[in-house]
């Protein structure tokens, strides 16, 4: 098998525009009601984001656990709470305005996405065309 690294999983706190208006931070601690939405595959991501950002989450935050990234983003979009949404996969929600970044600090998870293909098909024109398109589409804009 051959593979190309597409990108590392970068996630950022996001919520609906209405939810974002309710978020209050005082002395680097979130003091407003701040329900969090947790993707079950990344149960410690909020803790890691808080440590890296230096912003403390409320100790009594209500937690909703979901098992798909789409469900996590949709729940945040509907105002259920704050979610860690992946970049660049979540860009369409940010561009449409249905989700907004709640904080600038991103967390880079220890997960990466790869394009994997059989080595014996690497010279196939259709594989090459798809590979080129995917690599261009997911090129890191930074």
Domain locations along the chain: 7-112
Question: What's the CATH number of domain 7-112, 3.40.190.10, 3.10.450.50, 3.30.413.10, 3.40.50.2300?
Answer: 3.40.190.10
Coil, helix or strand at residue 65 = strand
| pLDDT band, very low/low/confident/very high, at 91 (cuts 50, 70, 90) | confident
Residue 32: pLDDT above 90?
Answer: yes
pLDDT band at 142 (very low <50, low <70, confident <90, very high): low
Mean pLDDT of the chain: 92
Predicted confidence band of residue 90 (pLDDT cuts 50, 70, 90): confident
Model pLDDT for residues 38-74, shown as the tens digit of each residue: 999 999 999 999 999 999 999 899 999 999 999 999 9
Q: Find out whether 105 and 52 touch, Cβ atoms under 8 Å.
A: yes
Report the phi/psi class of residue 134: left, alpha or beta, with left for phi > 0 and alpha for psi in -120 to 50.
Answer: alpha
Q: Please name the residue that has the structure tokens 């261009």.
A: 136
Q: Are 83 and 74 in contact (CB under 8 A)?
A: no
């Amino acid at each position: 098998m051959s593979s190309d690294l597409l990108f590392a999983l970068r996630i950022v706190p996001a919520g609906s525009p209405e939810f974002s208006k309710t978020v209050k931070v005082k002395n680097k601690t979130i003091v407003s009601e701040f329900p969090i939405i947790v993707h079950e595959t990344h149960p410690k991501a909020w803790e890691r984001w808080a440590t890296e950002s230096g912003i403390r989450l409320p100790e009594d935050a209500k937690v909703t656990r979901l098992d798909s990234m789409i469900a996590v983003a949709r729940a945040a979009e509907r105002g259920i709470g704050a979610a860690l949404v992946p970049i660049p996969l979540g860009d369409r929600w940010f561009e449409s305005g249905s989700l907004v970044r709640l904080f600038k600090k991103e967390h880079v998870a220890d997960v990466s996405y790869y394009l994997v293909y059989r080595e014996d098909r690497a010279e196939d024109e259709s594989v090459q065309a798809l590979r080129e398109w995917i690599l261009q589409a997911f090129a890191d804009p930074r």
